[in-house]
Structures are given as structure tokens and as C-alpha cells.
Amino acid sequence: MPVSARPLDRLADFPAIPAGWAYLDTAATAQKPRPVIDAIARGYAETYATVHRGVYQRSADMTLAFEAARRRTASFIGARAPEEIVFVRGATEGINLVAQSWGGTFLKPGDRIMLSVLEHHSNIVPWQLIADRTGAVIDVAPLTSDGRIDLDAMAAMLTERHRIVGLAHVSNVLGSVLDARRAAEIAHQVGALLLLDGCQAVPRMPVDVAALGCDFYVFSAHKLYGPTGIGVLWGRGELLDAMPPMHGGGAMIDKVTFEKTTFAPPPARFEAGTPHVVGVLGLAAAIDYVDAIGLDAIAAHEGALVRETREALSGLNSVRLFGPDDAAGIVSFAVEGVHPHDVGTILDESRVAIRAGHHCAQPLMAHLGVDATARASFGVYNGPQDIAALVAGIERVRRIFG
């Protein structure tokens, strides 16, 4: 198989990837590089303390590091100010926060929410919950023939009753990339806001929320080579200022009495309780790691791997490919007559790790006419040897099932 992609020579940074194991499930969660592991270990073993409250030196130092990580995150995605960065448990909590706080405040009966066919359940279910509560109605934008959100069709569907549009920046199943700038312009033409799910975009392409023109942006650290349990909600400052808190507790208050409580300004208003301090430090280390490589270089590397994987699989007449040829870091496929779970199990026997299932995108599976797909997804640690292992494993699947 001709392969021209060259690895980024980063495999040695990832101690959890043993020699000969092809890890192709980065879209689910990325493996962690040594600098991130070291930052987490150091945070717990050497510098740990609570933040924002302690008057002793270590707490003050940790507070400085915590808020430096907020500034680093703001810079990473082009936010105007660090106060626009809210630390959450992950993108799922970020979308729920916007839906419950902004949606619960501003959505009224008859208002409309626009989503798309390819959304992750985390960008569907929170909107269903708030629609049920407020009387709002959900509309669904269709896809083009190659699996992109059809923005022309969406533009024709949008009305002045639409208050918010929620779209994936990159599909977690198809790898199709949204023209986010155009999506923002279309939403704003009818006075709607745009929320982007950036989980699959932030690890593999430069993101500048100001240039994109969106109003909210969410992503999870664990897909960005960082730790689990920490994520980011970015929102335009004036929007966050107008939103009530979703959770109550310590740190998010101004003054508490039994008669009345007043709340701190954002982002503290949305960060009730003791935060995931070391998770935030791990996120900052992950941002430093990908920035040192360069997101343009990562995009080019993963793009080459996707092209070569699709070319290799398209030569197997029993394999069906999904999504566009220029997908970002993700290749979904099916082997004729073989359930994706069986494909994943047999590949695992060949030391190839992929994801098989509906990928938390059941409406998209229904659109594709399948119950599930197999999905290979790439990271900075992958190279041509992983494509070769995947193809050899699929050929073994075909032999076993005839």
C-alpha cells in the first residue's frame, strides 16, 4: 500500500501506547503525552492546594497558576478576555449550561431552536430538555450528499422565531467540517445565536472564536490530549453577564443571606464549588503541547492519514465509506455483512483499537441507514504503520466472514 504521510515523531511522548498497538480511537478520547501527565502529577504531588480562598502562600500560588491557565485557554481560542472562559466538566456540561441558563431565561413558547442531523447526543438532548420546559420547538437542518451540514437548506429554514442554532464544528462520526463563519452569518441574519460544539475541532485545527463569529463555543480537554473531567465553555461576555447560574454553592456568590443571595460576575458565577484544579493545569499543559507542534501541522498530518486510509479502504469492495474525502481526522466505515462490533473485536485481536457503535449520534445513523459504523480516528501519535495495521485487520475480518 503506497503511503506518503509521515508521523509527527510524537509516539515516544505517549507512555500508554505500547509498541505495536495501533490506537485509532482519538475522537473518543486522546492518549496523554508525558508533559500533561507530568503537569498533573506535579499538581497533586508538589503544588496542590485549593484556589481563590486560601490566604497561605501555596494557595495563592495555585490560584495564580489556575487563572494563568484560564488566560492561556482564552488566548488559545481567540477569546477577548479570560472572563469569557468558564471551566466545566466537559463539553456536555457546557452545552447543558447554555441550554438551562440562557435557554431557560430567554426561550419562550413558540421560539425555535435549530440543530442538524449529525449532532452528538450532547447537542440534542439538552435542547430537548429545555424545549420541553419552555415550549420552544426544535428544527433539524439536513445534510449534503457528502455528509456536511447543508447551510443553504438551513438558511431557507431559519426564521425570526429561531433564537439559537447549535452545530458541530466537526462531526464526530463523519469528520465533516462546518463552514462556521458562514453558519454564524446565517444565524445572525435572523437574530439567532450560534453555539458550536468544538470537541473534534479544537484538537486538530486552529480555532479563533472571534474570527468564526460564533456566540458560544464548547470543548473537552480529554479530546485535546488533556485530562478527563474538565472542559471549556466560551461565551461572549455580554451573554454570560445576562445568564443566571445553573448551580449554586460556594465560590459563585457575592453575598448570601437567608433572605437573598447575590451572585458573582462571570466566570465565577458558573463555577460553583471547588473546581477541578489539577485538571485545569493539565488542560493548560495540553494546550502548550499542541501549540508547540502547531495546529496547522496537526491538521496536515491527520488530513494525510485520512486521505490514505480512505484510499486504502476504498480498494476493498466490501467496505463502505461514510463522510467527505477531506474529513478532519476521522474515517467511518462499514464492512458488508459484518456488524461493526465484530469488526472492532477482530481488529482488537490484531492490536488495532477503533470505535464501533452509534457514536452517540443515533439520528445520524438513521439518516445513513445503518445501526452503527466502525470508526478510525487519528492523533499526533499515528502514522502509516497504523493505517497498514488497520487495513490488514479488515482484510482478516473479510477472510473470517467470507
Hey, which residues are catalytic here? 360
Residue 39 backbone phi and psi in degrees, to 5: -65, -40
CA-to-CA distance for 389 and 402, rounded, in angstroms? 20
Tell me the C-alpha to C-alpha distance, in Å, between residue 40 and each of 162, 341, 381: 43, 34, 20
Helix/strand/coil percentages in the chain, nearest 5:
45, 15, 40
CA-to-CA distance for 128 and 122, rounded, in angstroms? 10
CB 208 within 8 A of CB 184: no
Question: SS3 for 252-266, per residue?
Answer: CEEEECCCCEEECCC
Tell me the C-alpha to C-alpha distance, in Å, between residue 26 and each of 107, 275, 281, 329: 36, 26, 21, 9
Give the type of residue at 86: V
359-379: burial string, b at 16+ Cβ within 10 Å, e else: bbbebbbeebeeebbbbbbbb
Give the type of residue at 144: T
DSSP letter at 170?
B
Residue 190 backbone phi and psi in degrees, to 5: -105, 10
Dihedral angle computed from the Cα positions of residues 223, 141, 105 and 264, in that order, rounded to the nearest 10 degrees: 20
Q: Provide the angle, in degrees to the nearest 10, between the axes of the packed helices 57-77 and 277-293.
A: 40
Q: What is the bridge-based pairing of β-strands 216-220 and 193-197?
A: parallel
Q: Count the alpha carbons within 13 Å of 376 in the hemisphere toward its beta carbon.
A: 28
* DSSP H or E run through 303: helix 295-314
